[in-house]
C-alpha cells in the first residue's frame, strides 16, 4: 500500500488468542542507524481507535525522520481478529503492545535495543505501563495522554453535564454486573454530540473524531469501559519506574484528559513536556497544531536515539 510520501507493508502478528493487523513503515533513510540497525516505533490508537483513524500522518512523519514504524489495531478492533469486539481491556491492549514490540525487535534492520513506544489519549498511559522497567525501550511518547482515571472521572463531572456523566456511569456499572452472570455488555457510542449518552460528549468532539475516522472504525464501545478507566493510574504506578526518556504532549484546554493530572505525572516521571493551546483532538492532521506536535516528536526522538 502507498501514500504520497512513503510505502507501508501490511502485516499480521499473533497476540494471545488472535491475530493483530498492522502496517509497517520503513524509515526513509538511515540517519539514525547504527551497526545494530535502525530504531523502531510501535504505535497504536487511544480509546476505541483504529490505525486507519489518524495515525498514518504520524507514522509517515516519524519514518521520514529515520525510524521504522509499526502501527497496529488491538484485538477486537478494526482489522484485527479476536473478541469480544469493541471491548476495551487495558490488560489485553498492553499485551498487544508487548507482542508488537517483539515483532518490531525481530524485524531485519531494526536495532532491538532502541525501541520506541508511542501512544495517544488512553494509550498514552498504556505505553507508560508497558515501558516501565524495560531496558530495551529507549523512548516513550505520550500525546494528550490519560494518566489518571479517577482524575479524569472527576474532570468529566466538572466539565460535562452531570446527568449525562451519571447516566453513562450507571450504564457501565450495570454492564459490569451483568458480565458477572454472563450477559454480554451493551454498547455505547464512543463519541456523540452534547446531551447524548456517549463516552465522549464535549462540544466539537463528535465532528473532530469523525474527521479522522477510517473505514474500519466503529462508533461504539462496550459499556464496561468505565470499569477499565476508573482504576487506571499509570501516572502514579509506572512513571517512577520508567527507564527511558519520555515526551509528554499536553493540550492545555483538553476536556478529555485533565491537563493538570498529566503535568503532575510528567513531573514525577522527569518527562520532557510540550504544551499546546488547544483541545484533545487538535494535534491530529488537518488541525493547526499538528505540524508542531509532529516536529517536536521527531526532534525528541533524534535527540534520544542519536547514534
**Considering its fold, how many domains does the chain have in total?**
1
Domain of 108, CATH number, reads: 3.40.50.1820
| Band of residue 173 on the pLDDT scale cut at 50, 70, 90 | low
Three-class HEC string of the chain: CECCCCEEEEEEEEECCEEEEEEEECCCCCCCCECCEEEEEEECCCCCCCCCCCCHHHHHHHHHCCCEEEEECCCCCCCCCCCCCCCCCHHHHHHHHHHHHHHHHCCCCEEEEEEEEEEECHHHHHHHHHHCCCCCEEEEEEECCCCCHHHHHHHHHHHCCHHHHHHHHHHHHHHHHHHHCCCCCCEECCECCCCCCCCECCCCHHHHHHHHCCCCCCCCEECCHHHHHCCCCHHHHCHHHCCCEEEEEEECCCCCCCHHHHHHHHHHCCCEEEEECCCCCCCCCCCCCHHHHHHHHHHHHHHHHCC
Residue 22 lies in a domain: yes
* Predicted confidence (pLDDT) per residue in 247-277, tens digit: 999 999 999 999 999 999 999 899 999 999 9
C-alpha cell at 2: 502507498
**Interstrand relation of 68-72 and 18-25 (parallel, antiparallel or unpaired):** antiparallel
Output the CA–CA distances (angstroms, integers) from residue 169 to 55, 162, 163, 197, in the order listed: 29, 10, 10, 10
**Domain that includes residue 272, residue range:** 8-148+232-305
Residue 241 lies in a domain: yes
Closest to 11 (Cα-Cα) out of 49, 42, 45, 53: 42
C-alpha cell at 248: 509528554
Residue 102 lies in a domain: yes
Residue 284 lies in a domain: yes
Residue 204 lies in a domain: no
Our CA dihedral for 99, 102, 107, 112, rounded to 10 degrees, sits at: 150
Distance CA 109, CA 69 (A): 12
Report, as an integer, the average pLDDT of 2-18: 81
| Band of residue 172 on the pLDDT scale cut at 50, 70, 90 | low
Output the CA–CA distances (angstroms, integers) from residue 15 to 43, 90, 93, 142, 295, in the order listed: 15, 14, 9, 23, 32
Of residues 184 and 289, more confidently modeled: 289
Q: What is the pLDDT of residue 4?
A: 43
Distance CA 155, CA 22 (A): 34
Distance CA 126, CA 44 (A): 10
Report, as an integer, the average pLDDT of 123-148: 96
Report, as an integer, the average pLDDT of 180-194: 81
* Predicted confidence (pLDDT) per residue in 14-63, tens digit: 999 999 999 999 999 999 999 999 999 999 999 999 999 999 999 999 99
Residue 81 lies in a domain: yes
**Cβ pair 78, 51 in contact under 8 A:** yes
pLDDT > 50? residue 1: no
CA 143 remoteness from chain centre: 8
Residue 156 sits at φ, ψ, to 5 deg, of: -60, -40
Residue 52 lies in a domain: yes
Q: What is the pLDDT of residue 165?
A: 56
* Predicted confidence (pLDDT) per residue in 74-95, tens digit: 999 999 999 999 999 999 999 9
What's this model's pTM, rounded to 2 decimal places? 0.91
Q: Which residues contact 211 (CB under 8 A, 6 or more apart)?
A: 281, 284, 286
Residue 34 lies in a domain: yes
Amino acid at each position: 500500500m502507498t501514500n504520497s510520501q512513503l510505502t507501508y507493508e501490511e502485516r499480521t502478528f499473533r497476540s494471545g488468542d488472535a491475530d493483530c493487523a498492522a502496517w509497517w513503515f520503513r524509515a526513509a533513510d538511515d540517519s539514525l542507524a547504527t551497526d545494530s540497525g535502525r530504531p523502531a516505533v510501535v504505535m497504536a490508537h487511544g480509546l476505541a481507535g483504529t490505525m486507519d483513524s489518524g495515525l498514518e500522518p504520524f507514522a509517515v512523519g516519524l519514518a521520514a525522520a529515520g525510524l521504522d514504524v509499526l502501527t497496529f489495531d488491538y484485538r477486537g478492533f478494526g482489522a484485527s481478529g479476536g473478541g469480544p469486539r469493541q471491548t476495551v481491556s487495558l490488560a489485553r491492549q498492553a499485551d498487544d503492545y508487548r507482542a508488537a514490540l517483539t515483532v518490531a525487535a525481530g524485524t531485519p534492520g531494526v536495532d532491538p535495543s532502541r525501541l520506541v513506544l508511542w501512544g495517544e489519549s488512553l494509550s498514552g498511559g498504556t505505553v507508560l505501563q508497558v515501558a516501565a522497567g524495560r531496558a530495551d525501550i529507549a523512548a516513550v511518547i505520550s500525546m494528550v495522554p490519560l494518566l489518571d482515571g479517577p482524575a479524569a472521572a472527576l474532570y468529566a463531572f466538572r466539565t460535562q453535564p452531570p446527568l449525562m456523566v451519571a447516566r453513562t456511569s450507571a450504564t457501565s456499572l450495570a454492564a459490569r454486573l451483568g458480565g458477572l452472570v454472563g450477559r454480554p455488555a451493551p454498547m455505547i457510542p464512543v463519541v456523540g454530540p452534547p446531551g447524548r449518552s456517549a463516552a465522549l460528549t464535549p462540544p466539537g468532539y463528535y465532528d473532530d473524531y469523525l474527521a479522522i475516522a477510517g473505514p474500519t472504525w466503529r462508533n461504539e464501545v462496550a459499556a464496561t469501559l468505565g470499569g477499565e478507566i476508573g482504576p487506571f493510574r499509570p501516572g502514579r504506578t509506572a512513571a517512577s519506574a520508567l527507564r527511558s526518556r519520555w515526551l509528554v504532549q499536553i493540550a492545555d484546554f483538553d476536556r478529555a484528559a485533565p491537563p493538570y493530572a498529566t503535568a503532575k505525572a510528567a513531573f514525577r516521571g522527569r518527562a520532557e513536556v510540550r504544551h499546546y493551546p488547544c483541545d484533545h483532538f487538535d494535534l491530529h492532521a488537518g488541525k493547526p497544531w499538528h505540524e508542531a506536535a509532529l516536529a517536536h516528536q521527531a526532534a525528541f526522538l533524534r535527540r534520544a536515539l542519536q547514534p
